[in-house]
Amino acid sequence: MERQLLPDDHLSETVHHLVEEAVVLAGGHAPDARHLLLAILKSHAAIVQQLLPAIDIDVLAAAVQKELLNANSPIAIPYEAVIDLAMRIAAREQRPVVDEMHLMKAIALLSELIPQESVFPTPPKILQIGANLTEQARRGALPRVVGREQEVALLIETLCRPVNPYAVLIGVEGVGRRAVVQGVAERIANDTAPDPLRKRPLIMLSQLFDNPELMGKLVEEATQLNAILYIEAFESFLSAPAPPIEALRQEFLSALVARRVPIIGAASSLHGFRHHIHRAPDLLKRFQPIEVRPMNREETLQVLVQLASLFQEQHGLAFPNETLQTIVQVADEHIQHRPFPDKAILLMDHVAGRARAQNLAYIEPRHVWETAGVVTGLPIGGGETAMLHSLQGLESFLKSRVMGQDEAIETLVRVFSLKIRRLDLRPERPNGVFLFAGPTGVGKTETARALAEYFFGSRDKMLRLDMNQFYEAHTAARLLGAEFGYIGFERGAPLLDFVAENPFCVVLLDEMEKAHPEIHKLFLQIFDDGYIIDAQGRRVSFADTVIVMTSNLQPETEVGFLRGAPSLEDWRKAFAQQFAPEFINRVDAICVFRPLQRETVRQIVRERLLEQIIHVYRKRNIELSVSDEAVAWLVERGFSEHYGARELERVVERSLLLLLAPHVPAMIHAVDGAPQHYEITVQNGQLALG
């Protein structure tokens, strides 16, 4: 007998005997469904009669015997297929081994003697669109909840209330609201929950729905199953896009309340929850707010220890304690726009992904730093040393890009170096709030762009807002977005959308003094708290941004003219006339950009602009030289006292291109030969090519 057919750990002793009998009927070979069915009919006919009450047992036995002679019998179903289905049926019924009824059901299903629905009935709609967290916890499919005892206990107390078993978990996304709910499911699954919650399914609804018929069915099924509902997208659910849908959703909640179905919701803030549900005061007063605070470093480390054991078991990845501590440290110091434990779990997941892609089994701290550099875009791939090295090179890079503004750049780098390393007292605030003061065209915008390019990896990591567009109070809606149901809500908020998608970035507020004082107040909150909540209740963090404001204001004396180079105090007095004192107090540094001197402009033309053009032509085997007279000609036409060097690049590029354009065909033919030499000079007051 071929005992290798028998998976001993999954079959009951009775089924073992039935399989052995089937092997005998098959002449010592692997049996199929016919042999198994005959073995059951021989010794367990009552099982067959119970499952197929309308079938004559003797007639069935004779028919199966006849099928043994049919080489192409439709019920000659392989043994492996029968056992596999029987095991699935046993698992569905939460039985550890396959018994004779499971075996018979599998044969009957595969032979089409009974319909699929009789063994695998269609689950209720609420279980099709939702997830039964109690069942998942019972199967061990949920990670063990760590460090949420107080929140879990308070939620359980609320759900046990006989009149108002309704709770809303208050905390920003990623703080661990779902973990608190899973903690309740865990208690229910291991029978440590109080009697009012015992044996109850805790069903998580993650998607939104606005079908009246479906909503009615969900209410009925939740009542029949004695379920607890967790509406994860509760804040979005309350933020209906139109009054009819708002009424429909409130009616759904009211129906659940009428049936005393316990409800758990989630919201980013208590203010946001009250704002969205204020038009239904009867519902508002029923929900118990439960604050879910961010974890600290020690609690987060314990969560990672649990996660590490899962990664070891499921993926063969070893995370030693030193590596886990590095994950917590890096996330704490360099990712401010997310709370613990979410940011640590995010970083750990990225590290695990890179490790699996590179076939690594043992994760070291250096792998964390390397991954963190990719996740954040910050120059920390080599650890804190790499950050310090990048900061040392920042000043020289900015000075190479913006000439003649050494004092402003040194002030910027000095303060930014402290902020980006989180060495100040308020790490939740932005990575720097700077006010760039000085006339137009002297390098304020270019400095901000260069900072984004050097430190955040791309000039595209800077968003520029022209504050001239926000001179009226109502324009705040352009920054915060419109509420659901109002015109323009689908367009979002460009500033907040950009920061949410690019948390490590530079935000440039150009000509800030032109904005309305109400706009100043809005940004004051960002400067002070490090975040803002938009019109739709979304919390957007600015903790990892650098905010740069520019201003063209000029200090003046009492008689109306400048007394030489103004001091920093002069600038502060000028700004005090345009901004509230608390606004100026939130600025980390005022960087003063001085008017450009002609020698500086000459240096910009010679060392930056012309060098770029010469390099482009040199790659085409063409050598250009520019006389001092030509440089002076370009400076004269590209720079003005009023507009600074704003037009300089355009004048240089346009003048030289117009001069060189007629000669381009001849130049192209010279690419493969000896280099062609051209000198740009001035003749008769115009640029000339010699």
pLDDT, tens digit, 9 for 90 and up, residues 135-161: 999 988 888 898 899 999 999 999 999
Contacts of 20 (CB under 8 A, 6+ apart): 1
Asked whether the beta carbons of 108 and 174 are under 8 A apart, the reply is: no
Q: What pLDDT score does 642 carry?
A: 74
158-193 per-position pLDDT tens digit? 999 999 999 999 999 899 999 999 999 999 999 999
Percent helix / strand / coil, the chain, rounded to 5: 55, 10, 35
- In the structure encoding, which two tokens stand for residue 516, read together? 């309305």
Model confidence over 428-481: pLDDT tens digits? 899 999 999 999 999 999 999 999 999 999 999 999 999 999 999 988 888 887
Tell me how far apart the alpha carbons of residues 610 and 602 are, in angstroms, rounded to a whole number: 11
Give pLDDT, residue 288: 96
Confidence of residue 357 (pLDDT cuts 50, 70, 90): very high
Q: Give the pLDDT of residue 486.
A: 52
Q: For residue 43, what are its two tokens?
A: 């010794």
Predicted pLDDT at 489: 54
Tokens of 610: 């012309």
- The domains found in the chain, sorted by start residue, are 3-119 (1.10.1780.10), 126-291 (3.40.50.300), 299-376 (1.10.8.60), 408-592 (3.40.50.300), 598-689 (1.10.8.60)
CB-CB contact of 308 with 322 (8 Å): no
Q: Of 481, 521, 477, 485, which Cα lies nearest the Cα of 498?
A: 481
Task: Select the more confidently predicted residue: 617 or 47.
Answer: 47
CA distances from 246 to 209, 242, 286, 289, 530 (A): 12, 6, 18, 21, 32
Distance between CA atoms of 30 and 367, rounded to whole angstroms?
A: 52
Q: Give me the sheet containing 462-466, strands edge to edge.
A: 462-466, 505-510, 545-551, 433-437, 589-592
pLDDT, mean of residues 499-525? 96
Q: Note if the bond before 341 is cis, omega within 30 degrees.
A: yes
The angle at the Cα of 298, spanning 543 to 235, to the nearest 5 degrees, equals 50
- For residue 279, pLDDT beyond 90: no
Return the pLDDT at 241. Answer: 76
CA distance 199 to 190: 10
Q: Are 600 and 578 in contact (CB under 8 A)?
A: no
What is the gyration radius of the CA atoms in the chain, in angstroms?
A: 36
Residue 564 pLDDT: 61
Q: Is the pLDDT of residue 91 over 80?
A: yes
Angle at 686 (CA atoms; ends 680, 690), nearest 5 degrees: 30
From residue 307, give the alpha-carbon distance in Å to each of 169, 345, 353.
Answer: 23, 8, 14
Higher pLDDT, 561 or 404: 404
Percent of the chain with pLDDT over 90: 68
The rounded mean pLDDT for the chain is 90
Distance CA(560)–CA(179), nearest Å, equals 64
pLDDT band at residue 677 under the 50/70/90 scheme: confident
